[in-house]
Structure 1
Amino acid sequence: MRPARVSVLLRPAAAYFGRFVPGRSAAQKAAVPRLYNLMPQKSEATLTQHRGRGALICFEGLDRSGKSTQSKRLLEYLKQQGDVELWRFPDRETPTGTLITAYLENAESLDDRAVHLLYSANRWEKMQGMVKKLESGTTILLDRYAYSGAAYTAAKNIQGASLAWCQASDAGLPAPDRTIYLHMSPTAAASRSGYGKERYENIRFQEQVAQQYNALAQQEPASWSIVDADQDVDVLSTEIQHLAMTVLDDVKQGRALRHLRPPDEPVLTLHALQVLKRSHAFGFHKCHGSRGKVKGRRPRMWNTMN
Protein backbone atom coordinates (compact mmCIF):
# COMPACT_ATOMS: atom_id res chain seq x y z
CA MET A 1 0.00 0.00 0.00
CA ARG A 2 1.30 3.45 -0.86
CA PRO A 3 1.71 5.88 2.08
CA ALA A 4 -0.68 8.30 0.37
CA ARG A 5 -3.52 5.83 0.69
CA VAL A 6 -2.89 5.46 4.40
CA SER A 7 -2.90 9.22 4.88
CA VAL A 8 -6.29 9.48 3.19
CA LEU A 9 -7.73 6.87 5.54
CA LEU A 10 -6.39 8.66 8.60
CA ARG A 11 -7.27 12.21 7.49
CA PRO A 12 -10.58 12.44 9.40
CA ALA A 13 -8.97 11.21 12.60
CA ALA A 14 -6.07 13.61 12.14
CA ALA A 15 -8.56 16.46 11.80
CA TYR A 16 -10.16 15.56 15.09
CA PHE A 17 -6.98 15.16 17.09
CA GLY A 18 -5.58 18.36 15.61
CA ARG A 19 -7.89 20.18 18.02
CA PHE A 20 -5.63 19.18 20.89
CA VAL A 21 -2.30 20.31 19.39
CA PRO A 22 -0.58 22.69 21.84
CA GLY A 23 -0.42 26.31 20.75
CA ARG A 24 -3.61 26.37 18.74
CA SER A 25 -6.08 29.09 19.56
CA ALA A 26 -9.56 28.36 20.90
CA ALA A 27 -11.05 29.57 17.62
CA GLN A 28 -8.86 27.20 15.60
CA LYS A 29 -9.80 24.27 17.81
CA ALA A 30 -13.51 25.08 17.62
CA ALA A 31 -13.33 25.34 13.83
CA VAL A 32 -12.35 21.67 13.50
CA PRO A 33 -15.42 19.40 13.69
CA ARG A 34 -15.51 16.30 15.82
CA LEU A 35 -14.59 13.09 14.07
CA TYR A 36 -18.05 11.92 15.11
CA ASN A 37 -19.61 14.61 12.90
CA LEU A 38 -17.35 13.83 9.94
CA MET A 39 -18.69 10.31 9.55
CA PRO A 40 -22.00 9.35 7.88
CA GLN A 41 -24.63 8.81 10.55
CA LYS A 42 -28.02 7.17 10.66
CA SER A 43 -30.73 9.49 11.91
CA GLU A 44 -31.83 9.03 15.52
CA ALA A 45 -35.30 8.15 14.25
CA THR A 46 -33.87 5.29 12.19
CA LEU A 47 -31.73 4.00 15.04
CA THR A 48 -34.55 4.24 17.55
CA GLN A 49 -37.54 3.01 15.58
CA HIS A 50 -36.08 0.26 13.39
CA ARG A 51 -37.41 -3.18 14.26
CA GLY A 52 -36.49 -6.65 13.05
CA ARG A 53 -32.76 -5.96 13.03
CA GLY A 54 -29.99 -8.32 14.00
CA ALA A 55 -28.16 -8.16 17.31
CA LEU A 56 -24.58 -6.95 17.72
CA ILE A 57 -22.64 -9.00 20.28
CA CYS A 58 -19.00 -8.28 21.06
CA PHE A 59 -16.34 -10.52 22.62
CA GLU A 60 -13.51 -8.78 24.45
CA GLY A 61 -10.68 -10.00 26.65
CA LEU A 62 -6.94 -10.38 27.03
CA ASP A 63 -4.86 -12.27 24.49
CA ARG A 64 -5.45 -16.05 24.66
CA SER A 65 -8.50 -15.65 26.89
CA GLY A 66 -10.65 -17.77 24.55
CA LYS A 67 -12.46 -15.15 22.46
CA SER A 68 -12.03 -16.99 19.17
CA THR A 69 -13.11 -20.34 20.63
CA GLN A 70 -16.21 -18.97 22.35
CA SER A 71 -17.26 -16.73 19.46
CA LYS A 72 -17.08 -19.71 17.08
CA ARG A 73 -19.13 -21.84 19.46
CA LEU A 74 -21.76 -19.15 19.79
CA LEU A 75 -21.83 -18.78 16.00
CA GLU A 76 -22.73 -22.44 15.58
CA TYR A 77 -25.35 -22.25 18.32
CA LEU A 78 -27.06 -19.14 16.93
CA LYS A 79 -27.28 -20.54 13.41
CA GLN A 80 -30.36 -22.34 14.71
CA GLN A 81 -31.96 -18.96 15.44
CA GLY A 82 -31.44 -17.27 12.07
CA ASP A 83 -28.80 -15.45 10.04
CA VAL A 84 -25.60 -14.87 11.99
CA GLU A 85 -22.03 -13.94 11.06
CA LEU A 86 -18.72 -13.77 12.92
CA TRP A 87 -16.51 -10.75 12.26
CA ARG A 88 -12.96 -10.39 13.55
CA PHE A 89 -11.13 -7.15 14.22
CA PRO A 90 -8.75 -6.13 13.00
CA ASP A 91 -9.85 -7.35 9.58
CA ARG A 92 -6.46 -8.11 8.05
CA GLU A 93 -7.81 -8.39 4.51
CA THR A 94 -8.55 -4.67 4.15
CA PRO A 95 -6.00 -2.00 3.08
CA THR A 96 -5.33 -0.99 6.68
CA GLY A 97 -5.38 -4.61 7.77
CA THR A 98 -2.24 -5.44 5.78
CA LEU A 99 -0.33 -2.72 7.62
CA ILE A 100 -1.66 -3.93 10.97
CA THR A 101 -0.51 -7.48 10.21
CA ALA A 102 3.01 -6.28 9.42
CA TYR A 103 3.07 -4.28 12.64
CA LEU A 104 1.84 -7.15 14.83
CA GLU A 105 4.40 -9.50 13.34
CA ASN A 106 7.13 -6.99 14.19
CA ALA A 107 7.86 -6.33 10.52
CA GLU A 108 7.03 -2.62 10.77
CA SER A 109 7.81 0.04 13.33
CA LEU A 110 5.09 2.68 13.62
CA ASP A 111 4.27 5.47 16.03
CA ASP A 112 1.80 4.24 18.65
CA ARG A 113 -0.70 6.97 17.80
CA ALA A 114 -0.57 6.04 14.13
CA VAL A 115 -1.15 2.41 15.06
CA HIS A 116 -4.19 3.36 17.11
CA LEU A 117 -5.68 5.32 14.22
CA LEU A 118 -4.98 2.44 11.83
CA TYR A 119 -7.01 0.12 14.05
CA SER A 120 -9.81 2.67 14.21
CA ALA A 121 -9.75 3.17 10.43
CA ASN A 122 -9.95 -0.60 10.04
CA ARG A 123 -13.25 -0.59 11.94
CA TRP A 124 -14.59 2.37 9.98
CA GLU A 125 -13.86 0.52 6.73
CA LYS A 126 -16.43 -2.07 7.81
CA MET A 127 -19.01 0.26 9.35
CA GLN A 128 -21.44 0.67 6.46
CA GLY A 129 -21.47 -3.04 5.70
CA MET A 130 -22.09 -3.78 9.37
CA VAL A 131 -25.10 -1.47 9.58
CA LYS A 132 -26.61 -2.94 6.40
CA LYS A 133 -26.23 -6.48 7.73
CA LEU A 134 -27.83 -5.57 11.05
CA GLU A 135 -30.72 -3.78 9.40
CA SER A 136 -31.35 -6.79 7.17
CA GLY A 137 -31.83 -8.95 10.27
CA THR A 138 -28.40 -10.59 10.46
CA THR A 139 -26.87 -10.97 13.92
CA ILE A 140 -23.16 -10.12 14.04
CA LEU A 141 -20.68 -11.52 16.54
CA LEU A 142 -17.51 -9.46 16.97
CA ASP A 143 -14.18 -11.00 17.95
CA ARG A 144 -12.70 -7.75 19.35
CA TYR A 145 -13.97 -4.27 18.57
CA ALA A 146 -13.40 -0.63 19.50
CA TYR A 147 -12.90 -1.49 23.18
CA SER A 148 -9.77 -3.46 22.33
CA GLY A 149 -8.35 -0.51 20.44
CA ALA A 150 -8.92 1.83 23.37
CA ALA A 151 -7.68 -0.60 26.03
CA TYR A 152 -4.47 -1.60 24.25
CA THR A 153 -3.41 1.92 23.32
CA ALA A 154 -4.25 3.39 26.73
CA ALA A 155 -2.26 0.57 28.34
CA LYS A 156 0.90 1.88 26.66
CA ASN A 157 0.79 4.94 28.95
CA ILE A 158 1.61 7.37 26.15
CA GLN A 159 1.60 10.99 27.23
CA GLY A 160 -1.64 12.58 26.07
CA ALA A 161 -3.20 9.28 24.98
CA SER A 162 -5.69 8.82 27.79
CA LEU A 163 -8.50 6.30 27.61
CA ALA A 164 -10.91 9.06 26.53
CA TRP A 165 -8.47 10.13 23.79
CA CYS A 166 -8.32 6.56 22.56
CA GLN A 167 -12.11 6.22 22.49
CA ALA A 168 -12.68 9.40 20.49
CA SER A 169 -11.79 8.05 17.05
CA ASP A 170 -14.45 5.31 17.28
CA ALA A 171 -17.33 7.60 18.23
CA GLY A 172 -20.19 6.99 15.81
CA LEU A 173 -19.58 3.30 15.18
CA PRO A 174 -22.47 0.93 15.98
CA ALA A 175 -22.45 0.10 19.70
CA PRO A 176 -22.74 -3.56 20.76
CA ASP A 177 -26.02 -4.64 22.32
CA ARG A 178 -23.92 -6.77 24.65
CA THR A 179 -20.18 -6.92 25.29
CA ILE A 180 -19.05 -10.25 26.74
CA TYR A 181 -15.76 -9.77 28.54
CA LEU A 182 -13.84 -13.00 29.06
CA HIS A 183 -12.10 -12.33 32.34
CA MET A 184 -8.84 -14.18 32.87
CA SER A 185 -5.67 -13.31 34.75
CA PRO A 186 -2.66 -12.46 32.54
CA THR A 187 -0.72 -15.29 34.19
CA ALA A 188 -3.37 -17.86 33.32
CA ALA A 189 -3.58 -16.57 29.75
CA ALA A 190 0.20 -16.83 29.39
CA SER A 191 0.05 -20.55 30.20
CA ARG A 192 -2.03 -21.26 27.10
CA SER A 193 -0.48 -22.63 23.91
CA GLY A 194 0.86 -20.19 21.36
CA TYR A 195 1.31 -17.36 23.84
CA GLY A 196 4.09 -14.87 23.07
CA LYS A 197 4.06 -15.01 19.27
CA GLU A 198 2.74 -11.49 18.77
CA ARG A 199 3.90 -8.08 19.94
CA TYR A 200 1.48 -7.52 22.83
CA GLU A 201 1.67 -10.99 24.38
CA ASN A 202 3.63 -10.39 27.57
CA ILE A 203 2.29 -10.54 31.10
CA ARG A 204 3.29 -7.07 32.26
CA PHE A 205 1.60 -5.35 29.35
CA GLN A 206 -1.49 -7.55 29.59
CA GLU A 207 -1.87 -6.47 33.22
CA GLN A 208 -2.08 -2.87 32.03
CA VAL A 209 -4.63 -3.86 29.38
CA ALA A 210 -6.76 -5.56 32.04
CA GLN A 211 -6.89 -2.33 34.04
CA GLN A 212 -8.15 -0.42 31.00
CA TYR A 213 -10.79 -3.06 30.30
CA ASN A 214 -12.03 -2.70 33.87
CA ALA A 215 -12.38 1.04 33.35
CA LEU A 216 -14.34 0.50 30.13
CA ALA A 217 -16.67 -1.98 31.81
CA GLN A 218 -17.42 0.58 34.52
CA GLN A 219 -18.43 3.11 31.85
CA GLU A 220 -21.16 0.82 30.47
CA PRO A 221 -22.19 -1.59 33.24
CA ALA A 222 -25.63 -2.18 31.72
CA SER A 223 -24.25 -3.53 28.44
CA TRP A 224 -21.19 -5.44 29.67
CA SER A 225 -21.24 -9.00 31.01
CA ILE A 226 -18.08 -10.23 32.72
CA VAL A 227 -17.67 -14.01 32.65
CA ASP A 228 -15.01 -16.28 34.11
CA ALA A 229 -12.92 -17.42 31.14
CA ASP A 230 -10.89 -19.85 33.27
CA GLN A 231 -13.80 -22.23 33.88
CA ASP A 232 -14.65 -25.35 31.89
CA VAL A 233 -15.06 -24.53 28.19
CA ASP A 234 -18.47 -26.19 27.89
CA VAL A 235 -19.81 -24.52 31.03
CA LEU A 236 -18.60 -21.16 29.75
CA SER A 237 -20.24 -21.75 26.36
CA THR A 238 -23.58 -22.48 28.00
CA GLU A 239 -23.37 -19.30 30.07
CA ILE A 240 -22.59 -17.25 26.96
CA GLN A 241 -25.45 -18.85 25.04
CA HIS A 242 -27.90 -17.78 27.75
CA LEU A 243 -26.56 -14.22 27.61
CA ALA A 244 -26.87 -14.16 23.83
CA MET A 245 -30.45 -15.40 23.83
CA THR A 246 -31.40 -12.65 26.28
CA VAL A 247 -29.91 -10.08 23.91
CA LEU A 248 -31.75 -11.53 20.90
CA ASP A 249 -35.03 -11.39 22.82
CA ASP A 250 -34.44 -7.73 23.72
CA VAL A 251 -33.68 -6.85 20.10
CA LYS A 252 -36.86 -8.60 18.94
CA GLN A 253 -38.78 -6.37 21.35
CA GLY A 254 -37.48 -3.32 19.50
CA ARG A 255 -34.28 -2.32 21.29
CA ALA A 256 -32.66 0.54 19.40
CA LEU A 257 -29.33 0.15 17.66
CA ARG A 258 -27.09 2.60 19.49
CA HIS A 259 -23.80 4.06 18.42
CA LEU A 260 -20.63 4.72 20.37
CA ARG A 261 -20.67 8.24 21.75
CA PRO A 262 -17.67 10.56 21.87
CA PRO A 263 -16.18 10.81 25.35
CA ASP A 264 -16.69 14.02 27.28
CA GLU A 265 -14.29 16.84 26.57
CA PRO A 266 -11.39 17.03 29.05
CA VAL A 267 -12.35 19.13 32.06
CA LEU A 268 -10.30 20.95 34.66
CA THR A 269 -10.25 19.20 38.00
CA LEU A 270 -10.86 21.05 41.25
CA HIS A 271 -7.17 20.70 42.07
CA ALA A 272 -6.23 22.24 38.72
CA LEU A 273 -8.55 25.18 39.33
CA GLN A 274 -7.07 25.67 42.79
CA VAL A 275 -3.68 25.94 41.14
CA LEU A 276 -5.05 28.42 38.62
CA LYS A 277 -6.62 30.39 41.44
CA ARG A 278 -3.13 31.11 42.75
CA SER A 279 -1.80 31.95 39.30
CA HIS A 280 -0.86 35.51 38.36
CA ALA A 281 -1.93 34.73 34.81
CA PHE A 282 -5.57 34.73 35.96
CA GLY A 283 -5.17 37.67 38.35
CA PHE A 284 -6.41 35.69 41.35
CA HIS A 285 -3.63 37.13 43.52
CA LYS A 286 -5.51 40.45 43.49
CA CYS A 287 -8.77 38.95 44.75
CA HIS A 288 -7.80 37.62 48.18
CA GLY A 289 -8.21 39.35 51.49
CA SER A 290 -6.34 38.58 54.68
CA ARG A 291 -8.67 35.66 55.53
CA GLY A 292 -8.46 34.07 52.07
CA LYS A 293 -11.97 35.18 51.07
CA VAL A 294 -12.49 36.29 47.52
CA LYS A 295 -13.26 39.97 47.09
CA GLY A 296 -15.00 41.60 44.18
CA ARG A 297 -16.06 39.90 41.00
CA ARG A 298 -14.57 36.49 40.35
CA PRO A 299 -13.70 35.15 36.91
CA ARG A 300 -16.61 33.31 35.29
CA MET A 301 -14.74 30.01 35.05
CA TRP A 302 -14.22 29.98 38.82
CA ASN A 303 -17.92 30.67 39.41
CA THR A 304 -18.82 27.46 37.61
CA MET A 305 -17.25 25.45 40.39
CA ASN A 306 -19.78 26.64 43.01
Structure 2
Amino acid sequence: MSALKGLFISIEGIDGSGKSTQARRLADRLRAQGHDVVLTREPGGSPGAEQIRALVLEGDPDRWSPHTEILLFTAARRDHLERTIAPALAAGKVVICDRFADSTRMYQGLSRGDLRALVDQLHDLMIGREPDLTLLIDMDPETGLTRALSRNGAEERFEAFGADLQRRMRAGFLTLAQEFPDRIRVIDGNRSPDAVASDVFATVKGATS
Protein backbone atom coordinates (compact mmCIF):
# COMPACT_ATOMS: atom_id res chain seq x y z
CA MET A 1 0.00 0.00 0.00
CA SER A 2 2.80 2.43 -0.87
CA ALA A 3 0.21 4.68 -2.58
CA LEU A 4 -0.87 5.85 0.86
CA LYS A 5 2.05 8.28 1.11
CA GLY A 6 0.65 11.79 1.53
CA LEU A 7 -2.97 10.55 1.55
CA PHE A 8 -5.84 12.51 3.10
CA ILE A 9 -8.77 10.36 4.33
CA SER A 10 -11.91 11.69 6.01
CA ILE A 11 -14.50 9.60 7.82
CA GLU A 12 -18.06 10.92 7.89
CA GLY A 13 -21.47 9.91 9.21
CA ILE A 14 -24.32 10.95 11.45
CA ASP A 15 -23.84 11.21 15.21
CA GLY A 16 -23.40 7.79 16.80
CA SER A 17 -22.45 6.08 13.53
CA GLY A 18 -19.16 4.79 14.95
CA LYS A 19 -16.97 6.89 12.69
CA SER A 20 -14.62 7.97 15.51
CA THR A 21 -14.06 4.34 16.49
CA GLN A 22 -13.40 3.40 12.87
CA ALA A 23 -11.00 6.32 12.42
CA ARG A 24 -8.95 5.09 15.40
CA ARG A 25 -9.01 1.50 14.22
CA LEU A 26 -7.92 2.41 10.71
CA ALA A 27 -5.09 4.55 12.09
CA ASP A 28 -3.92 1.70 14.33
CA ARG A 29 -3.97 -0.80 11.46
CA LEU A 30 -2.07 1.46 9.09
CA ARG A 31 0.52 2.25 11.76
CA ALA A 32 0.97 -1.47 12.36
CA GLN A 33 1.85 -1.77 8.67
CA GLY A 34 4.52 0.90 9.05
CA HIS A 35 2.67 3.98 7.79
CA ASP A 36 3.17 7.36 9.45
CA VAL A 37 -0.37 8.37 10.39
CA VAL A 38 -1.85 11.56 11.81
CA LEU A 39 -5.27 10.97 13.39
CA THR A 40 -7.20 14.20 13.80
CA ARG A 41 -10.75 15.51 14.05
CA GLU A 42 -13.12 18.34 13.23
CA PRO A 43 -14.00 20.71 14.54
CA GLY A 44 -10.59 20.78 16.16
CA GLY A 45 -7.28 19.21 15.31
CA SER A 46 -5.17 22.26 16.13
CA PRO A 47 -4.99 24.43 19.28
CA GLY A 48 -7.02 27.27 17.81
CA ALA A 49 -9.57 24.97 16.20
CA GLU A 50 -10.05 23.09 19.48
CA GLN A 51 -11.00 26.38 21.15
CA ILE A 52 -13.60 26.98 18.44
CA ARG A 53 -14.84 23.40 18.93
CA ALA A 54 -15.94 24.26 22.46
CA LEU A 55 -17.86 27.25 21.14
CA VAL A 56 -19.82 25.33 18.51
CA LEU A 57 -20.46 21.97 20.21
CA GLU A 58 -21.44 23.08 23.69
CA GLY A 59 -24.36 25.11 24.96
CA ASP A 60 -27.93 25.72 23.86
CA PRO A 61 -28.97 24.41 20.41
CA ASP A 62 -29.89 27.96 19.38
CA ARG A 63 -26.67 29.50 20.64
CA TRP A 64 -25.51 30.49 17.14
CA SER A 65 -27.31 31.45 13.95
CA PRO A 66 -26.67 29.22 10.91
CA HIS A 67 -24.52 31.90 9.28
CA THR A 68 -22.37 32.35 12.39
CA GLU A 69 -21.93 28.60 12.69
CA ILE A 70 -20.66 28.35 9.12
CA LEU A 71 -18.10 31.09 9.76
CA LEU A 72 -16.92 29.43 12.98
CA PHE A 73 -16.54 26.02 11.36
CA THR A 74 -14.72 27.51 8.38
CA ALA A 75 -12.34 29.40 10.67
CA ALA A 76 -11.61 26.22 12.62
CA ARG A 77 -11.04 24.26 9.41
CA ARG A 78 -8.66 26.85 8.01
CA ASP A 79 -6.51 26.76 11.16
CA HIS A 80 -6.63 22.96 11.17
CA LEU A 81 -5.56 22.84 7.53
CA GLU A 82 -2.70 25.30 8.00
CA ARG A 83 -1.29 23.86 11.21
CA THR A 84 -2.00 20.13 11.05
CA ILE A 85 -3.28 18.70 7.77
CA ALA A 86 -1.17 20.48 5.14
CA PRO A 87 2.17 20.03 6.97
CA ALA A 88 1.46 16.33 7.55
CA LEU A 89 0.59 15.72 3.90
CA ALA A 90 3.65 17.65 2.75
CA ALA A 91 5.74 15.34 4.92
CA GLY A 92 4.23 12.29 3.19
CA LYS A 93 2.06 11.20 6.12
CA VAL A 94 -1.40 9.66 6.03
CA VAL A 95 -3.98 12.01 7.53
CA ILE A 96 -7.19 10.44 8.87
CA CYS A 97 -9.74 13.07 9.85
CA ASP A 98 -12.88 12.39 11.87
CA ARG A 99 -15.22 14.71 9.89
CA PHE A 100 -14.25 17.41 7.39
CA ALA A 101 -16.12 19.76 5.04
CA ASP A 102 -18.87 17.25 4.20
CA SER A 103 -20.16 17.54 7.76
CA THR A 104 -20.47 21.31 7.39
CA ARG A 105 -22.24 20.84 4.07
CA MET A 106 -24.78 18.68 5.91
CA TYR A 107 -25.13 20.10 9.41
CA GLN A 108 -24.94 23.79 8.55
CA GLY A 109 -25.57 23.85 4.81
CA LEU A 110 -28.57 21.52 4.77
CA SER A 111 -30.13 21.43 8.22
CA ARG A 112 -29.62 24.96 9.46
CA GLY A 113 -31.19 27.07 6.72
CA ASP A 114 -30.46 25.54 3.30
CA LEU A 115 -27.11 27.32 3.09
CA ARG A 116 -25.22 24.68 1.13
CA ALA A 117 -24.19 27.16 -1.58
CA LEU A 118 -22.70 29.48 1.04
CA VAL A 119 -20.80 26.60 2.64
CA ASP A 120 -19.33 25.65 -0.73
CA GLN A 121 -18.42 29.25 -1.55
CA LEU A 122 -16.54 29.69 1.72
CA HIS A 123 -14.90 26.30 1.30
CA ASP A 124 -13.63 27.18 -2.16
CA LEU A 125 -12.38 30.55 -0.92
CA MET A 126 -10.75 29.57 2.38
CA ILE A 127 -10.03 25.81 2.24
CA GLY A 128 -9.62 24.88 -1.40
CA ARG A 129 -9.21 21.13 -1.13
CA GLU A 130 -11.14 17.92 -0.48
CA PRO A 131 -9.94 14.66 1.05
CA ASP A 132 -8.50 12.14 -1.38
CA LEU A 133 -10.93 9.54 -0.01
CA THR A 134 -14.01 9.86 2.19
CA LEU A 135 -15.51 6.89 4.03
CA LEU A 136 -19.18 7.42 4.90
CA ILE A 137 -20.31 5.17 7.75
CA ASP A 138 -24.04 4.77 7.05
CA MET A 139 -26.12 4.15 10.17
CA ASP A 140 -29.81 3.86 11.07
CA PRO A 141 -30.71 7.34 12.41
CA GLU A 142 -32.56 6.22 15.54
CA THR A 143 -29.78 3.80 16.50
CA GLY A 144 -27.18 6.48 15.93
CA LEU A 145 -28.99 9.04 18.07
CA THR A 146 -29.42 6.54 20.91
CA ARG A 147 -25.70 5.79 20.81
CA ALA A 148 -24.78 9.48 20.68
CA LEU A 149 -26.96 10.46 23.62
CA SER A 150 -25.71 7.53 25.71
CA ARG A 151 -22.26 9.15 25.81
CA ASN A 152 -23.60 11.79 28.24
CA GLY A 153 -20.86 14.21 27.26
CA ALA A 154 -20.80 18.00 27.20
CA GLU A 155 -20.64 18.16 23.39
CA GLU A 156 -24.26 17.33 22.65
CA ARG A 157 -25.50 20.54 21.07
CA PHE A 158 -26.32 18.95 17.70
CA GLU A 159 -27.68 15.72 19.20
CA ALA A 160 -30.19 17.96 20.99
CA PHE A 161 -31.82 18.76 17.65
CA GLY A 162 -33.27 15.23 17.78
CA ALA A 163 -34.13 12.32 15.50
CA ASP A 164 -35.54 14.43 12.66
CA LEU A 165 -32.14 16.04 12.14
CA GLN A 166 -30.50 12.62 12.17
CA ARG A 167 -32.85 11.35 9.47
CA ARG A 168 -32.26 14.39 7.27
CA MET A 169 -28.52 14.13 7.79
CA ARG A 170 -28.43 10.48 6.78
CA ALA A 171 -30.38 11.23 3.61
CA GLY A 172 -28.14 14.20 2.91
CA PHE A 173 -24.94 12.23 3.34
CA LEU A 174 -26.18 9.53 0.97
CA THR A 175 -27.09 12.18 -1.60
CA LEU A 176 -23.62 13.67 -1.15
CA ALA A 177 -22.11 10.26 -1.88
CA GLN A 178 -23.94 10.27 -5.21
CA GLU A 179 -22.68 13.79 -5.90
CA PHE A 180 -19.04 12.80 -5.30
CA PRO A 181 -18.88 9.12 -6.36
CA ASP A 182 -15.15 9.21 -7.10
CA ARG A 183 -14.33 10.37 -3.58
CA ILE A 184 -17.00 9.05 -1.21
CA ARG A 185 -17.42 5.34 -0.42
CA VAL A 186 -20.42 4.21 1.64
CA ILE A 187 -19.80 1.63 4.38
CA ASP A 188 -22.70 -0.17 6.11
CA GLY A 189 -22.36 0.80 9.78
CA ASN A 190 -25.28 -1.34 10.99
CA ARG A 191 -22.95 -4.23 11.80
CA SER A 192 -20.36 -5.17 14.36
CA PRO A 193 -17.37 -2.83 14.74
CA ASP A 194 -15.09 -5.63 13.51
CA ALA A 195 -17.09 -6.12 10.31
CA VAL A 196 -17.17 -2.38 9.65
CA ALA A 197 -13.43 -2.08 10.31
CA SER A 198 -12.72 -4.88 7.85
CA ASP A 199 -14.72 -3.08 5.14
CA VAL A 200 -13.06 0.25 5.94
CA PHE A 201 -9.57 -1.20 5.52
CA ALA A 202 -10.50 -3.10 2.36
CA THR A 203 -11.99 0.07 0.88
CA VAL A 204 -8.83 2.08 1.61
CA LYS A 205 -6.68 -0.66 0.19
CA GLY A 206 -8.83 -0.94 -2.93
CA ALA A 207 -8.93 2.79 -3.51
CA THR A 208 -5.16 3.16 -3.30
CA SER A 209 -3.94 0.03 -5.05
Per the TM superposition, whether the score is higher than 0.5 is: yes
CA, structure 1 residues 55+128, in 2 after alignment: closer, same or farther (shift >3 Å)? Answer: same
1:93 shift after superposition: 5.5
User: Which residue does the alignment assign to 1:121?
Assistant: 75
Q: TM-score, normalised by structure 1?
A: 0.59
RCO higher in 1 or 2 (8 Å CA, sep ≥ 6)?
Answer: 2
Asked if residue 206 in structure 1 is aligned to residue 163 in structure 2, the reply is no
What stretches of structure 1 of length at least 5 have no aligned partner? 1-50, 250-306
Within a 5 Å distance, the mapping from 1:1-306 to structure 2 comes to 53-79=5-31, 80-91=33-44, 94-106=47-59, 109-129=63-83, 130-158=85-113, 161-171=114-124, 172-192=127-147, 193-194=150-151, 198-201=156-159, 202-249=162-209
CA, structure 1 residues 225+152, in 2 after alignment: closer, same or farther (shift >3 Å)? Answer: same
RMSD: 2.3
1:196 shift after superposition: 8.6
What stretches of structure 2 of length at least 5 have no aligned partner? none
- Of the two, which has the highest radius of gyration? 1
Secondary structure of the corresponding residue to residue 246 of structure 1: helix
1:178 shift after superposition: 1.0
What CA distance in whole angstroms lies between the structure 1 residues aligned with 2:80 and 2:128?
Answer: 10
What CA distance in whole angstroms lies between the structure 2 residues aligned with 1:92 and 1:128?
Answer: 11
Secondary structure of the corresponding residue to residue 123 of structure 2: coil
Instruction: Give the fraction of aligned pairs with identical amino acids, expressed as a percent.
Output: 26
Q: TM-score, normalised by structure 2?
A: 0.84
CA, structure 1 residues 93+52, in 2 after alignment: closer, same or farther (shift >3 Å)? Answer: closer
1:53 shift after superposition: 4.1
1:157 shift after superposition: 4.6
What CA distance in whole angstroms lies between the structure 1 residues aligned with 2:73 and 2:13?
Answer: 17
Secondary structure of the corresponding residue to residue 191 of structure 2: coil
1:125 shift after superposition: 0.6
What CA distance in whole angstroms lies between the structure 2 residues aligned with 1:151 and 1:120?
Answer: 14
Judge conservation of contact 2:70–2:104 (CA < 8 Å) in 1.
yes
